[in-house]
Amino acid sequence: MNAGSAVARNDALAAARGDIIGFLDADDLWTDRHLASLLPMLADPALDCARGWTRMTALADPGIDLGESYQPILLGAGLYRRSVFDRVGGFEPVLRAGEDLDMAARIGEAGVRIAVTTEIVLVYRRHDRSAVAKAGAVQRGQFDAIRSRLRRGGHA
């Protein structure tokens, strides 16, 4: 049992030295367009985050096409200025799951300036033993992220 993905992501943020942060989780793939399409977008100093679209497939059979879409929760589908995390804080380790959903919500609330390209920048490979395969765990993550959202308050 490790300390969980929130702690791992915070450790990585602490260790990173660059001004632009990218994430790549186990089993996910950046496409060859990831840096090529997202990095130039951040040349615009008015932007804090660049996101692309995600293609979902199955780890067991990459030929299975589960569609392409905009998945703002998947951290691997974006590049973020380090200043984003200075502003909104790190990942929330007390969450049982859903630290990525929680972060996406906080980034939205903080008014982080985001640009989106429809280019495919991430391949999300689902397999039955991945951390998210159990729908129950994912649902818990959603409940956790929602409770965290309600504690922050300030709904419009």
Partner 1 sequence: MSYSGAYRVNEPKVVSETLDGETIAIDLESGSYFSMNPAASVVWNLILDGHPAAAFPAVVAARFDVAPEDAAGDIERFVESLVRDRLVVAAEPRAVAAPVIAAQGRAPYEAPSVERFDDMQELLLADPIHDVTLAGWPHLPPT
Q: Which residues bind partner 1 (CB under 8 A)?
A: 51, 53-54, 56, 64, 66-74, 101, 104-105, 108, 116-118, 124, 126, 132-133, 135, 138-140, 142-143, 145-147, 149-150, 155-156
Q: Distance of alpha carbon 123 from its chain centroid, rounded?
A: 13
DSSP state of 117: E
Query: Number of helices (H) and strands (E), helices first, in the chain?
Result: 5, 6
Query: Which tokens is 49 given?
Result: 């985050």
Supply the minimum distance, in Å, between the C-beta of residue 143 and partner 1. 5
Closest to partner 1 by CB, 16 or 134: 134
Q: With H, G, I as helix, E, B as strand and everything else as coil, classify residue 118.
A: strand
Closest to partner 1 by CB, 82 or 140: 140
Please say whether the beta carbons of 81 and 87 come within 8 A.
Answer: no
Closest to partner 1 by CB, 11 or 68: 68
Closest to partner 1 by CB, 11 or 69: 69
Max Cα distance, the chain (Å): 44
